[in-house]
Structure 1
Amino acid sequence: MNIYLLRHGETESNSKKVYYGKLDVELNQKGKAQSEAAGSKLKEIKFNKVYTSTMKRAVQTAQIAVKNKECEFIKDKRINEMNLGVFEGKNYEENQRDYPEEWKRWTEDWKSYAPPKGESYIEFYNKIKGFIEDIIKQNDEDILIVTHGGVIKSIYAYILGENLDLFWKFGTKNGDLTLIKYEYGNFYIDSIVHCEE
């Protein structure tokens, strides 16, 4: 099984470097160009299914990148970006200033602590784990998952032995394309490509 992971293209929130997960924003022009660039690398692949989060930025990226409308498109909220609650829409300095106690607790216990009105990383990770475990039961040959940076890094952590600390050992840029292979009950990362616009 070939599992392609595509991080959505850039949004204005990305360019402003604010924290956002549940905020439902659209791609900017650069993000649309990144999606086109990813699509050029995927044009020869006949996907059995294309999974996206329910967020506009992921759906738009999938629609631009995948020209073959014959494949099945499935939205799944389990691969939405992490809900950061009151931290959403603010940058690093603003969150430290506006929520000093909550920020301190989050940075000291990033796995278990949920920001007010948000979710903990463990809650977020468990949804993604369930999604991937359902995917591999489908036994499709080629699937595309268009999602978010936090989701992709969590998938890496899962396939590399459920080591949640590995979340911080990977970068992921807007428009990045990863190929993960699942063969004989094992995962491995085959490639990670930056799809520049």
Structure 2
Amino acid sequence: MGQIILVRHGESKLNIEGVYYGILDPELTEKGKEQAEKTREILKSINYEKIYASDLRRAIDTAEIVNYKKLEILIDQELRELNFGIFEGHSYKELLDKYPEELKKSQSNWENYNYITGESVLELQKRAINFIEKKVDLDGTTVLVTHWGVINTILSHYFSNGLESYWKFSVENGGVVIIEFSEGYPILKGLNIGG
């Protein structure tokens, strides 16, 4: 029986500013570092064999704090957050002024809208699941330090049809999600622990 332990990075400076950001690369706030310290305490009860992190600074910094076993952190771009393309760095209000038509499209067809120069949520899900299928041993225990969008696409894949439940999970900064696999069958063992 194996487990995937999904960890959302700690709070970053852009979380506070309330802008769309995925591939922008802010640092953790002091609160974000404290959240990661709390997550480290949660992970101490888990005997993981591998730890991966998104290649974005907020995920790497979180992984370095939570990695109580001091294993090599495997950095992988496939665990990056959704690329919001032209929306990156803008608030909702700014988008209403700057890209009103694109904002409407992103809301009416959120699964497939690719944010112009970015990617769609469906593409993100394919990337995340491809990563798991190629690189994660479902008979072992692996920690993935990543982002809200990645975590929610993974949960939606395993526990609903496609992206049906993408918006139905709430994983806070520093939150931990545990998916256990019994003969390949996923079981949700913990959601937003500590977040």
> TM-score, normalised to structure 2's length?
0.94
2:132 equivalent to 1:132 = yes
User: After superposition, where does 1:64-143 map in structure 2 within 5 Å?
Assistant: 64-69=65-70, 71-136=71-136, 138-143=137-142
1:89-117 deviation line (CA, Å, top 9, x unaligned)? 11111111110111111111111121122
| Contact 1:49 1:143 (8 Å CA) reproduced | yes
Tell me the secondary structure at the aligned position of residue 50 of structure 1. strand
2:67 equivalent to 1:53 = no
1:148-167 deviation line (CA, Å, top 9, x unaligned)? 00000001011114421210
Paired with 2:55 and 2:25, the residues of 1 have a C-alpha distance of 9
2:31 equivalent to 1:30 = yes
User: After superposition, where does 1:172-183 map in structure 2 within 5 Å?
Assistant: 172-183=171-182
| Contact 1:179 1:191 (8 Å CA) reproduced | yes
2:21 match: 20
| Contact 1:48 1:72 (8 Å CA) reproduced | no
| Contact 2:12 2:29 (8 Å CA) reproduced | yes
| Contact 1:173 1:194 (8 Å CA) reproduced | no
1:148 match: 147
1:2-61 deviation line (CA, Å, top 9, x unaligned)? 111100000111011111000011101000000000001112433211011000000000
Unaligned 5+ segments in structure 1 are none
Paired with 1:141 and 1:195, the residues of 2 have a C-alpha distance of 23
| Contact 2:3 2:138 (8 Å CA) reproduced | no
- Segments of 4+ in structure 1 off by > 3 A? none
Paired with 1:105 and 1:19, the residues of 2 have a C-alpha distance of 16
- Using the TM superposition, give the Cα deviation of residue 134 of structure 1 relative to its aligned residue in structure 2, in angstroms: 2.1
| Contact 1:54 1:75 (8 Å CA) reproduced | yes
2:191 match: 192
The aligned amino acid for 1:38 is: T
1:41 match: 42
Paired with 2:133 and 2:168, the residues of 1 have a C-alpha distance of 22
Tell me the secondary structure at the aligned position of residue 68 of structure 1. coil
- Using the TM superposition, give the Cα deviation of residue 194 of structure 1 relative to its aligned residue in structure 2, in angstroms: 4.0
The aligned amino acid for 2:11 is: E
RMSD value, Cα:
1.4
Unaligned 5+ segments in structure 2 are none
Paired with 2:138 and 2:188, the residues of 1 have a C-alpha distance of 18
The aligned amino acid for 2:37 is: E
Paired with 1:46 and 1:10, the residues of 2 have a C-alpha distance of 25
Tell me the secondary structure at the aligned position of residue 101 of structure 2. helix
Paired with 2:122 and 2:192, the residues of 1 have a C-alpha distance of 28
Tell me the secondary structure at the aligned position of residue 189 of structure 2. strand
Distance 1:119 1:47, change over 3 A: same
Tell me the secondary structure at the aligned position of residue 192 of structure 1. strand
